[in-house]
Amino acid sequence: MTEPTVHVPAVAEPAPAPHSRMSKEFLWLVLPAASGVLLGVLWWFLAPGGINLITGNPALGDANNPDTWLPRDLVLAGLVLVAGCFTGVMLDGKLQGPSVGRRLAFALLGGVLGSIVAWLVGLLAAQVFGPAPNPALGPGYGFTLRSYAVLLLWPAATAFITFVLSLFGVLSKKPVK
């Protein structure tokens, strides 16, 4: 006689908590915004009109000098461009699986927030540690940002690097025969 077969249902592992996955994706928003603090301080240290560590030229050390406007904007542009490229490279390995669009959207929004935070922290550092602007010259003088389009370079660089790396990933796959 044969013994009856008992079918014991397999114990499935519990699904990961959705809030833990969401919190990992939320880091793509928080980390670029938090790194904007460091970039803002670096902007003030490196840019003409701030501490001016790049040129060291005393003529460019005065924030009221109109000759410092373009180099100051270019220093912030370079900093956020490098940060955007770094974000895009770090995001490259994360573009598979579920919620790819959410991670990319968080990274792009984090880049916008990071740029704005960097700009505001740089202005705050100039107000706290720098000389007071000359009120006779008006509010447009002093350590300011002249080209607000610089603030879009971080998400633009992230999107471009992500696009290029995704394109290389697709083109490098061998065709299925």
**Domain coordinates in residue numbering, the chain:** 28-133+141-172
What are the structure tokens assigned to 60, written together?
Answer: 């460019």
The more confidently predicted of residues 160 and 137 is 160
pLDDT higher than 60, residue 172: yes
Taking Cα atoms as reference points, which of 51, 33, 32 lies closest to residue 41? 51
Contact 161, 89 (CB under 8 A): yes
> pTM of the full predicted structure?
0.81
Contact 119, 48 (CB under 8 A): no
